[in-house]
Homo-oligomer: A and B are copies of this chain.
Amino acid sequence: MTKGRLEAFSDGVIAIIITITILLIDLPDGDDMQALMGIMPLVGCYLISFILVGTNWVNHHHLLQVARQVDGRILWANLGYLFILSFMPVGTGWVGRSQFAMLPVRVYVIINLASALSYFLLEKAIIRASGSETLKAAVDESNKELWTFVVEGMALAASFVQGIHYVSCPLLVVAMAPWIVPDLRMKRVFEDAQRSHGQKRERNEKP
């Protein structure tokens, strides 16, 4: 029950984050093609943010399914994650309006790195609360998190080199690529948990 409300609240916040970014796109300043072209960098950056936040939502959704119950640590790890994610609209707006200038791009990359980090902490809090060895093993053996951190680190490095820094935003999509397909590890863990739960119940019911 508590978990249901946590999911609903998170969904609400993420739905708002993903949608209000559009409010940061200024209306074109005039009725001609030039005015329309003027907002295209923002539209491009909005597309990237939509993909990134969308991917975050899909995976957050799978991660929470694994959690059996919600303790204070998970609650606040989740709020921290949402806090970081809520900087995406401002970051997007700044990158777009500055036409992908270096500092805005760098800040945008840092927001994404911080959100990956806070997701990682949420994952740890859920592993700790569920005490699931399978989940821990699944997260440890795979290297999705590693891939994301390495590629986002490259995006950060690129944002320090004038000219190369245009690659940073596309690189962020590459960093999230392995997450675009919903996280199958979670599904496996989930099924595993249900199976072991069934076995435990069986054992208890034995006389």
Contacts and interface: CB of A to CB of B under 8 A. Distances in A.
A151 to B, nearest CB: 20
A94 interface: yes
Interface of A: 1-2, 5, 7-9, 11-20, 22-25, 27-28, 31-33, 36, 47, 50, 54, 57-58, 61, 65, 72, 75-76, 79, 82-83, 86-87, 89-90, 93-94, 97-98, 101-104, 107, 180-182
Contacts of A107: 36
A93 B18 contact: no
A23 B22 contact: no
A19 B19 CA distance: 11
Nearest to A24: B27
A183 to B, nearest CB: 10
Contact of A20 (B16, B33, B61, B82): B16
Contact of A79 (B16, B54, B76, B101): B54
Contacts of A20: 16, 19-20, 22-23
8 contacts: A5-B11, A5-B61, A18-B82, A19-B20, A19-B86, A28-B104, A47-B83, A50-B79
A55 B10 CA distance: 15
What 7 pairs across the A-B complex have the smallest Cβ distances? A12-B15, A31-B101, A16-B19, A31-B98, A54-B79, A13-B15, A27-B93
Nearest to A71: B182
A163 to B, nearest CB: 15
Contacts of A25: 90
A162 B36 CA distance: 19
A75 B180 CA distance: 10
B57 A9 contact: yes
Given A32-B103, A61-B5, A97-B27, A75 B15 contact: no
